[in-house]
Structure 1
């Protein structure tokens, strides 16, 4: 069962309430997405830590319902 972009956004926003989230379905199949996530919670974190925070928010969906997610993460500009 593929994952809906709205569901991905909701999971990310539940974990990172201030996040600005933009999601694109790359292949039109509900399995391959690109996401841009901007959150103040990323301040002072490495890119790897930021990505880990997003993967944790997805609650184990990566590799199952969600096959691929190309991530871009950042803290908001000061």
Structure 2
């Protein structure tokens, strides 16, 4: 499993998304910015992300740290 696969899958599955992913092949950190997160709680956002990657988390991804932002929140960080 590599960062590009996760990035591409997130960007293809969640509308208007950009993702930055780093990791070592089994443990990953992802920073995801999407207009689809606007008005959603942190839990709702994380559920969206994990639903995209749930099949991969069975075997390939052992740990995933997720930070999610709407575009407006991203501009403030």
State the TM-score, normalizing by the size of structure 1: 0.84
State the TM-score, normalizing by the size of structure 2: 0.85
Residues 1-78 of structure 1: pairs in structure 2 closer than 5 A: 3-25=1-23, 28=24, 30-77=25-72
Instruction: Kindly tell me the number of residue pairs found equivalent between the two proteins.
Output: 73
> Which ranges in structure 1 are unaligned for 5 or more consecutive residues?
none
- Select the structure that is richer in helix: 2
> Which ranges in structure 2 are unaligned for 5 or more consecutive residues?
none
After superposition, the CA RMSD in angstroms is 1.4
Q: 1:20-66: CA deviations, max 9, x gaps?
A: 101111xx3x0001000000000111001001101111142124211
Superposed structure 1 runs of 4+ greater than 3 Å apart: none
